[in-house]
């Protein structure tokens, strides 16, 4: 495996983690708003939340795949445990 592939995987993983954090924050915000929203607005927010959950799962899948294929468990690229716990909490709340 070439060094440029590893470097690219590191950067892509970093960008995915940033996006993952933003999507997670947005999902938390939507779920809080859903409680006080009107019926029609709540329905639209649930649809948006479902789409965000799918995107979050896809990003997690891509990060894990990049780590397995290119980064081979490199300590610098491991997902922070607190972020993993936060994402698990959001996933449990969504169910």
The string of pLDDT tens digits covering residues 14-49 is 999 999 999 999 999 998 886 777 788 888 889 999
What is the extent of the structural domain holding 11? 3-94
pTM above 0.85, yes or no: no
What's the structural domain count of the chain? 1
3-state secondary structure 38-93: CHHHHHHHHHHHHHHHHHHHHHHHHHHHHHHHHHCCCHHHCCCHHHHHHHHHHHHH
Q: How confident is the model at residue 78 (pLDDT cuts 50, 70, 90)?
A: very low
As a whole number of angstroms, the distance between CA 17 and CA 71 comes to 15
> What pLDDT is stored for residue 87 in this prediction?
54
> What pLDDT is stored for residue 39 in this prediction?
83
71 has pLDDT over 50: yes
């Amino acid at each position: 495996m070439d060094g440029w592939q590893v470097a690219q995987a590191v950067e892509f993983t970093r960008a995915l983690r940033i996006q993952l954090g933003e999507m997670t924050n947005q999902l938390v915000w939507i779920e809080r708003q859903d409680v006080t929203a009107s019926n029609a607005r709540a329905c639209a927010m649930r649809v948006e939340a479902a789409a965000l959950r799918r995107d979050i799962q896809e990003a997690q899948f891509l990060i894990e795949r990049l780590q397995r294929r290119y980064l081979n468990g490199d300590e610098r690229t491991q997902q922070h445990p607190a972020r993993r716990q936060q994402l698990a909490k959001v996933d449990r709340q969504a169910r």
